[in-house]
Structure 1
């Protein structure tokens, strides 16, 4: 089922799938990426156990593209996630966040714990201010090849040039420990472009304000069951990024997906889904006792 949810004059495209009687699970994607970036096989596997909800961030996919007229901060996108739950009448949900989505999930842990059944984050960094000495600023260990590529993120390109740029981006994000299938990610980006009906990239989230993110110290009060997935080949948030998050959130559990980078390609899709489902099943089991 597809629909739009309105928040602050912005329309967010939302899709539901999976078990209508399953506990809700909200997928929160990373920066400048629409809901279509979640692999269909991955969504289907989660849907065997859950009512899966995914949505297009502002300035992606079929949601409103208006950053140049109405700029916002990254932290505002966390409120969008809550608006999606409100729009669907979902009181509490398991929430899974990748990359920037993991940042947003950490904000939800702080501001909206009553809306979360559980949290899962991966390929992300802990909010600044966490831990006794404070977390390091983001992107301190990033692959310099990515930094060079990001300088051209919003450059004008035709469709074929844009697809080639995005596939190269995914190749770097994938890391070097698991095989990279360029055709797989080309098909992904063709779906992304068809879904959005456009191939340009405004890089809005890269330009969004960074205020309100240095709140890591507040994670120490979290009581939400949290899973942190370590991606050992992540070129943006390499180890010990996951360990820093785990240490910041009381009771958080950590698992490692061997060879995983900053992408959900075929080699890591199944183990990632199983790690999430094991976590959510444990939480649902305790809630149903």
Structure 2
């Protein structure tokens, strides 16, 4: 079942619910410039066997309102949108899973709205904390010295995208993007990725790109104290082939979020190919059950 909900005057969000209506709700929060259908259907179905899974399009993605230039907002507003989605779906408390920027939004929820979360699972993201990372040998590493984004990814992100790019050329660009984001461990299936992105374009209704989340104000997101006081059961997924927030970012997350535990998905990068669906879903379901 899918529908639109009102998040603010002139702003509507596309929302889908899948799974038994009486099952514990589980909210999926996607990354920057990514729509809710970036969570692959087979993966969502694995979770929906035990949960009422809620996924949605951020504003300026998918079928939600694209109006950043007329209605600019800070990144923190996207976390408020997640709470709005829970309200609209009648979910007083939910399990929350966040990927990339979605993992940062989930941390904002942990710190600011812990009463709305049953559990949290974070993947492919960085800590919203200024606390140094303590290496196994006891050496403290300042946050600004943790490994950065793979230069190949940065180079691709820096390339301008022509506004009149044809569909097949845009699909070529997206496949190249996901080839890099997938990491260098698991085999990359270009045909699968192309078909997956074609489905996202069909869902959206066009293949225009949007830079709204990259232009949104990212200030005021540090939650060092709130994460240190966390009482929500939190799972951090470690992806050894992650090119955006590579290890030890997951280990740092598990240190700064009180009570968090770490689970590694072998071969995983910053993407959700079929090879990671079963182990990732199993880790999330075990966490939500416990």
Q: Secondary structure at the match of 1:45?
A: helix
Q: CA deviation at 1:128?
A: 3.5
Q: CA deviation at 1:247?
A: 0.4
Give the number of aligned pairs.
282
In the alignment, the residues of structure 1 paired with residue 120 and residue 80 of structure 2 have an alpha-carbon distance, to the nearest angstrom, of 16
Counterpart among 152, 159, 175 of residue 145 in structure 1? 152
TM-score by length of 2: 0.94
Please say if residues 146 and 248 of structure 2, whose CA atoms lie closer than 8 Å, have aligned partners that are also in contact: no
Q: CA deviation at 1:204?
A: 1.3
TM-score by length of 1: 0.94
What corresponds to 1:286 in structure 2? none
Deviation by residue 1:168-219 (Cα, 9 ceiling, x = unmatched):
0000000001111011110111011000001011121111111111223321
> 5+ residue gaps in structure 2?
134-139
Q: CA deviation at 1:53?
A: 0.3
What corresponds to 1:270 in structure 2? 278
What corresponds to 2:237 in structure 1? 229
Please say if residues 62 and 196 of structure 1, whose CA atoms lie closer than 8 Å, have aligned partners that are also in contact: yes
In the alignment, the residues of structure 2 paired with residue 163 and residue 139 of structure 1 have an alpha-carbon distance, to the nearest angstrom, of 32
Decide which moves more: 69-78 or 252-261.
69-78
Decide which moves more: 227-236 or 138-147.
138-147
Please say if residues 147 and 246 of structure 2, whose CA atoms lie closer than 8 Å, have aligned partners that are also in contact: no
Decide which moves more: 155-164 or 112-121.
155-164
Q: CA deviation at 1:59?
A: 0.6
Which of structure 1's runs of 4+ aligned residues deviate more than 3 A? 130-135, 137-140
Against the structure 1 CA distance between its residues 37 and 135, is the aligned structure 2 distance closer, same or farther, given a 3 Å change threshold? farther
Please say if residues 241 and 269 of structure 2, whose CA atoms lie closer than 8 Å, have aligned partners that are also in contact: yes
What corresponds to 1:109 in structure 2? 110
In the alignment, the residues of structure 1 paired with residue 262 and residue 147 of structure 2 have an alpha-carbon distance, to the nearest angstrom, of 22
Matches within 5 A, 1:73-152: 73-131=74-132, 136-137=143-144, 140-152=147-159
Against the structure 1 CA distance between its residues 239 and 63, is the aligned structure 2 distance closer, same or farther, given a 3 Å change threshold? same
What corresponds to 1:287 in structure 2? none
What corresponds to 2:61 in structure 1? 60
Decide which moves more: 39-48 or 216-225.
216-225
Against the structure 1 CA distance between its residues 40 and 134, is the aligned structure 2 distance closer, same or farther, given a 3 Å change threshold? same
In the alignment, the residues of structure 2 paired with residue 130 and residue 24 of structure 1 have an alpha-carbon distance, to the nearest angstrom, of 32
What corresponds to 1:69 in structure 2? 70
In the alignment, the residues of structure 1 paired with residue 127 and residue 97 of structure 2 have an alpha-carbon distance, to the nearest angstrom, of 15
In the alignment, the residues of structure 2 paired with residue 231 and residue 86 of structure 1 have an alpha-carbon distance, to the nearest angstrom, of 32
In the alignment, the residues of structure 2 paired with residue 128 and residue 204 of structure 1 have an alpha-carbon distance, to the nearest angstrom, of 24
Q: 1:214 aligned to 2:222? A: yes
Please say if residues 110 and 226 of structure 2, whose CA atoms lie closer than 8 Å, have aligned partners that are also in contact: no
Q: Secondary structure at the match of 1:96?
A: strand
Please say if residues 25 and 95 of structure 1, whose CA atoms lie closer than 8 Å, have aligned partners that are also in contact: yes
In the alignment, the residues of structure 1 paired with residue 103 and residue 13 of structure 2 have an alpha-carbon distance, to the nearest angstrom, of 19
In the alignment, the residues of structure 2 paired with residue 44 and residue 251 of structure 1 have an alpha-carbon distance, to the nearest angstrom, of 29
Please say if residues 4 and 13 of structure 1, whose CA atoms lie closer than 8 Å, have aligned partners that are also in contact: yes
Against the structure 1 CA distance between its residues 79 and 65, is the aligned structure 2 distance closer, same or farther, given a 3 Å change threshold? same
CA RMSD of aligned residues (A): 1.6
Deviation by residue 1:97-152 (Cα, 9 ceiling, x = unmatched):
00000000000000000000000000111014235879624985211111111113
